[in-house]
Structure 1
């Protein structure tokens, strides 16, 4: 167990698939941070690599057999009025797996007939994936599934075209907000539940999620400086990206009492290429990664060989936390579970 000394830098990054697409639009300018001054912290964090795990591999339904009250008419995030009359065949598509996870957690998993690649928990394994290449939705493949409603949002680059194509085919398309934050979780869950005609199940899921988030925050040590946590996306040693404001990871890090290293270093983009010098100067106390991303660089030993990593406080103490790609930034129905698992792993709590 090591007591950290965190430092504040002067102003001056799927899911495997979740972030792969985002990287295409990230800033390629290397991060360069200025010199930093020491600021003692009483936060005590366990050394060594750890994996944050959820208590259940699958989302736990709040109701095993909710009865949809239909028809229902909703206003979508893109300001359309959509009437849903049947939820017996649902297709859920977004970059994060948020909607597919919500459908299962609301108790309608048996009705899901098509999913995105980020909806990857065991109970969804047999459901067809209709996002080719990760985030490109195939309209013909979706139509072939005969969906009675499609849930999606602008986190998919083809969302607008897809909506037009499916609407022209007579399929109700409910689009939600593409923003993913802990604060926006309740509204997002209620919107999905309302569109599926099960608002009571949505209220129950929100209550459960809020309780879990509160439990995660209760695990944060009081009256201590916040550990600096860098969310690093990797796909091999040639692609290392640091999360910044709006990455989604920043919101999760804040919830568990951390300070997002990219934001603290002055990033303005959600994802930014990182130089070894910038990584060293940003001085992360903890590196947070997706499990597949960590494996792609050769695990912790391989990560330590990447220039700059071993020269950070996180690298020196091998303080790396990984979490399943389909869970870490999924947001929505599993936000509370993720926050609790991450807080317990971060602070070494049972």
Structure 2
């Protein structure tokens, strides 16, 4: 009996297994336990943490994180390109989640904070990030969460009639113009919905295009956010685009644009928004 009690005492004294990850910088990040205080500097990461049931662990977010509603009440600590280092440190986070391209990681680490850089650009990236955060947060049903997202995308694709498929699409993600290429998560969503992207794959996920590129491609369908739509016809040559002439333009509200440009748990909702646009504006 004494031997059994000694074994139990030893087991209880052993520290819990550390959590170790290789992030998108290639850096190894080790945490003694699942973090209880998290700062997120990327909206898609904020949304993923909340989708995994850990919103209460967030103690600070970037200025663009606005969903779900509870995160709007959290302290804002700048953005990916201008993080407020002092404000982040003051929140005493166990880990800071940020994009690989964000600034400040080395500074935060030099101050003793753990930084995990994760930046999804494709659907596979979004799945990997969700599963990684599931491990970080010790959420055992994270794979089910992803399956539900993927099933929602599949259902949106199945809702479209064959007559509207194979349209040539241009999706503008921002002024420049910056486009969603076929290798981006948005391009992949469009492909799953049966669309053809006018952007060449070799240009990358979100290339900056010469406006003449779009004029030469002459897409059947144009998609963009409401902020960029007002001057569409004033762009040189764009008034003659087939999509513009025929009114085949989908304009998304700021809230809808947030859903569409964030590769995270709302990807099924993004697919439904795209499908609704295609059904309404697609060429039958």
> Which secondary structure does the structure 2 equivalent of 1:336 belong to?
helix
1:284–1:123 CA distance, 2 compared to 1 (3 A):
farther
Q: Of the candidates 309, 322, 327, which is equivalent to residue 238 of structure 2?
A: 309
Q: Of the two structures, which has the highest relative contact order with CA contacts closer than 8 Å and spacing of 6 or more?
A: 1
Q: Of the candidates 243, 246, 259, which is equivalent to residue 196 of structure 2?
A: 259
Cα distance in 2 for residues equivalent to 1:289 and 1:334: 18
Cα distance in 1 for residues equivalent to 2:100 and 2:199: 24
CA contact (8 A) 1:290 1:328 kept: no
Deviation at 1:86, TM superposition (A): 4.7
TM-score in terms of structure 1 length? 0.66
Matching residue of 2:208: 272
Gaps of 5+ in 2: 1-15
Matching residue of 2:110: 168
Matching residue of 1:196: 137
Matching residue of 1:180: 121
Deviation at 1:190, TM superposition (A): 0.6
Please give the residue correspondences for 1:281-296 in structure 2 after superposition, counting only pairs within 5 Å: 281-294=216-229
1:249–1:263 CA distance, 2 compared to 1 (3 A):
farther
Deviation at 1:90, TM superposition (A): 1.1
How many pairs were matched up?
260
Matching residue of 2:171: 231
Matching residue of 2:145: 205
CA contact (8 A) 1:280 1:312 kept: yes
Larger radius of gyration: 2
Deviation at 1:204, TM superposition (A): 2.8
Cα distance in 1 for residues equivalent to 2:233 and 2:200: 23
Whichever structure has more helix as a proportion of its residues is 2
Cα distance in 2 for residues equivalent to 1:287 and 1:340: 17
Cα distance in 1 for residues equivalent to 2:93 and 2:233: 47
Cα distance in 2 for residues equivalent to 1:337 and 1:268: 24
Q: Of the candidates 149, 156, 179, which is equivalent to residue 95 of structure 2?
A: 149
Matching residue of 1:216: 156
Matching residue of 1:85: 33
CA contact (8 A) 1:72 1:197 kept: no
Matching residue of 2:71: 124
CA RMSD after TM alignment: 2.6
Matching residue of 1:45: none
CA contact (8 A) 1:88 1:148 kept: yes
1:219–1:183 CA distance, 2 compared to 1 (3 A):
farther
> Which secondary structure does the structure 1 equivalent of 2:199 belong to?
helix
> Which secondary structure does the structure 2 equivalent of 1:344 belong to?
helix
Deviation at 1:274, TM superposition (A): 2.4
CA contact (8 A) 2:173 2:261 kept: no
> Which secondary structure does the structure 2 equivalent of 1:231 belong to?
strand
Cα distance in 1 for residues equivalent to 2:41 and 2:159: 33
1:346–1:152 CA distance, 2 compared to 1 (3 A):
same
Matching residue of 2:259: 327
Cα distance in 2 for residues equivalent to 1:190 and 1:274: 37
Deviation at 1:101, TM superposition (A): 0.6
> Which secondary structure does the structure 2 equivalent of 1:271 belong to?
coil
Cα distance in 1 for residues equivalent to 2:17 and 2:220: 51
TM-score in terms of structure 2 length? 0.80
Cα distance in 1 for residues equivalent to 2:18 and 2:72: 29
Q: Are 1:113 and 2:59 counterparts?
A: yes
Deviation at 1:184, TM superposition (A): 3.0
